[in-house]
Amino acid sequence: MKANDKKTNGVVTGITSNLVVVKVDGPVSQNEICFINLDKSNLMAEVIKITGDKVFVQVFESTRGLKPGAKVEFQGHMLEVTLGPGIVSRNYDGLQNDLDKMEATFLVRGEYTFPLDKDKEWEFEPLAKGGDKVVAGTWLGSVMENQINHKIMVPFKMTEQYTVKSIVAKGKYKIEDQIAEVEDEKGKTYSISMIQKWPVKQAIMAYKEKPRPFRVMETGIRAIDSLNPITEGGTGFIPGPFGCGKTVLQHALAKQAEADLIIITACGERANEVVEIFTEFPELIDPRTGRKLYERTTIVCNTSNMPVAAREASVYTGMTLAEYYRAQGLKVLLLADSTSRWAQALREMSNRLEELPGQDAFPMDLSATIANFYARAGFVYLNNGKVGSITFIGTVSPAGGNLKEPVTESTAKVARCFYALNQDRADSKRYPAIDPIDSYSKYLEYPEAQKYLAENVGEDWVDKILEAKNLLLRGKEAKEQINILGDDGVPIDYHIRFWHSELVDFVILQQDAFDDIDSSSSMERQKTMMDKVLNVCHQEFEFESFEEVNPFFKKVINSFKQMNYSEFNSEKFNNFEKELETILAERRMA
């Protein structure tokens, strides 16, 4: 950032939609924030291009009524978020304004609200002591934020090495109270409170090492855990045409994933879907902790009708909040719905800047921008040896459901898990509509992830996953042959092969997101079901003709499905299993 204490000022000279040209009287930085005075309010804007004393800024609000000559004041910093205890359970807009603090039904232009609670007292417990050597990100103390052990850290902006001069005793403090004093090597002292600021477009690097992610994260969704597992600190994306259940899948992830904190970025999507989260999450119970889901959820919401520049900021805001909690040694799951809307916001601005367009009029650097953003996720070893992670899953909304478009293609290059939603599966109500053939998880190929699965799930778990995937593929091939040659034109074996894949599909892949029991499946349960399904596929059964294959497997599937709907290992579950055994025994070859 420029070294200049005096604030730079400017006047508006040109306006095209939310792109405003400002003539400035001093130094400005790229991405610096400024406020444009309009009547009694100030509109927040960000510098996106500088040519001489002409500065192009994108305004985060509507510019209606703005006139040339309006005064502009530059702030000397980039778009920042305020980090401190009290972020969890809040509903923010894309610029981290606390939406609940806004009284009016309609959003008021130029109204900005403080994201935290300045009056709340937190029970602070010191972790560091006088004389300790500290750097940015060192844990000085902690407070309890809902069930989250929230660490108070040396601000990330402090880049030197410091010595703790003093730290307050255990007790109640407000976020702006000084909790510690540190001294740099030159003897200059700094006061530290519980809050700090950080520019959203820069990654927080307060960690020692970022290895390849290897710990598999349980999501309770079988199509993910049992076929294409994602890791803590992994990245994934979900593309799909509208009406394929993208949102339902994201909500299921938010409800069940084994994470300490969930950050949902609703980026340019429907307001009623966000309202659904607002309405449901305070009621829903987290099955792992028995507490309300919203106690571990933060929502950054910039719905499709909110200003487009703030939409671009919203994904960065979400990511920065996630990085802040990762530095505290937490497992964070960040969901963004949808990254295509973010890319479209980039396109709108690039268009107004009259930049030469790339494919589909997206900016040329779209691919790099997406790659850069995904790279901020990951699993890290902190400086104190503890671990933290950000698992990032973004949805993509490809135009016309066509995956050959720039956003999907750029995302595919960087995201390691691909959960393709398939229109045909959605139409035939096979939910979640994750295509079993096209989807993949690159983590299955990581030796360190394989080792983790072998140690934590089962010795041959990866082999079983691969076998199930192979059954699905072979089933699909058999189905194609049957369709070409007719039911009686192929050996019975083809029918059996097809029904093996249906068995995997119905029992493992398909899952009822609206059923209390089936909606979430524990790893132990998934392992058991996988074993049972593969076991059936390994057995030989006697069939006189192809017509007997279909009813037999339908019965088998029905028993399995009833098991899925029953409490694991309950009497009901066991009874259905016995029923299944009877069905199998009837046709089993000696």
Partner 1 sequence: METQAFQKIYTKITAVTKATCTLQASGVGNEEMAFVDGRKAQVVKIQGTEVTLQVFTGTEGIPTNAEVVFTGKPPTLKVGEELAGRFFDAYGSPMDGGPEIEGDEREIGGPSVNPVRRMQPSDFIATGIAGIDLNNSLVTGQKIPFFADPDQPYNQVMATVALRAEADKIILGGMGLTNDDYLYFKNVFDNAGALDRIISFVNTTENPPVERLLVPDMALTAAEYFAYEKKEKVLVLLTDMTLYSDALSIVSNRMDQIPSKDSMPGSLYSDLAKIYEKAAQFPEGGSITIIAVTTLSGGDITHAVPDNTGYITEGQLFLRKDSDIGKVIVDPFRSLSRLKQLVVGKQTREDHPQVMNAAIRLYADAANAKTKLENGFDLSDYDERAMKFAKSYSEALLAIDVNINTTQMLETAWTLFAKYFTKTEVAIRQALVDTYWPENEN
Measuring CA to CA, which residue among 260, 118, 126 is closest to residue 195? 118
**Shortest Cβ 514–partner 1 spacing (Å):** 8
Among 32, 58, 109, 198, binds partner 1 (CB under 8 A): 109
Among 278, 440, 541, 543, binds partner 1 (CB under 8 A): 278
Among 178, 279, 289, 470, binds partner 1 (CB under 8 A): 279
**Shortest Cβ 274–partner 1 spacing (Å):** 5
Query: Could you say which residues in the range 410-429 bind partner 1, by CB under 8 A?
Result: 427
Query: Could you say which residues in the range 301-360 bind partner 1, by CB under 8 A?
Result: 301, 303-306, 308, 341, 344-345, 347-348, 351, 357, 360
Classify burial at 449, counting beta carbons within 10 Å of its beta carbon; exposed 0-12, middle 13-18, buried 19 or more. Answer: buried
Kindly indicate which of the ranges 12-20, 133-141, 433-441, 539-547 contains the residues binding partner 1, using the contact rule CB under 8 A: 12-20
- 170 is written with which tokens? 């255990």
- 188 is written with which tokens? 């200059």
Kindly indicate which of the ranges 180-188, 271-279, 472-480, 531-539 contains the residues binding partner 1, using the contact rule CB under 8 A: 271-279
Which residues are bridge partners to 133 per DSSP? 163
Q: Which is nearer to partner 1, 278 or 440 (CB)?
A: 278
**Shortest Cβ 272–partner 1 spacing (Å):** 6
CB 380 within 8 A of CB 209: yes
Among 1, 144, 205, 399, binds partner 1 (CB under 8 A): 399
Which residues 6+ apart lie within 8 Å of 262 measured at CB? Answer: 254, 296, 297, 298, 332, 333, 334, 335
Q: Does 282 bind partner 1 (CB under 8 A)?
A: no
**Shortest Cβ 108–partner 1 spacing (Å):** 7
Write the DSSP string, 272-301.
HHHHHHHHHTTT-B-TTTSSBGGGGEEEEE
CB 177 within 8 A of CB 194: yes
Q: Does 488 bind partner 1 (CB under 8 A)?
A: no
Q: Does 196 bind partner 1 (CB under 8 A)?
A: no
Whole-number Å distance between alpha carbons of 387 and 382: 6
**Shortest Cβ 506–partner 1 spacing (Å):** 16
- 489 is written with which tokens? 């034109």
Whole-number Å distance between alpha carbons of 540 and 251: 40
Whole-number Å distance between alpha carbons of 30 and 201: 12
Q: Does 511 bind partner 1 (CB under 8 A)?
A: no
Kindly indicate which of the ranges 8-16, 74-82, 146-154, 407-415 contains the residues binding partner 1, using the contact rule CB under 8 A: 8-16
**Shortest Cβ 465–partner 1 spacing (Å):** 32
* Three-class secondary structure of residue 584 per DSSP: helix
The site that binds partner 1 (CB under 8 A) totals a number of residues, namely 58
Q: Does 566 bind partner 1 (CB under 8 A)?
A: no
* Three-class secondary structure of residue 141 per DSSP: strand
Classify burial at 400, counting beta carbons within 10 Å of its beta carbon; exposed 0-12, middle 13-18, buried 19 or more. Answer: exposed
Q: Does 267 bind partner 1 (CB under 8 A)?
A: no
- 381 is written with which tokens? 């070893």
Binding site for partner 1 (CB under 8 A): 13-17, 21, 62-69, 91, 99-100, 102, 104-109, 241-243, 268, 270-272, 274-276, 278-279, 301, 303-306, 308, 341, 344-345, 347-348, 351, 357, 360-362, 397, 399-402, 427
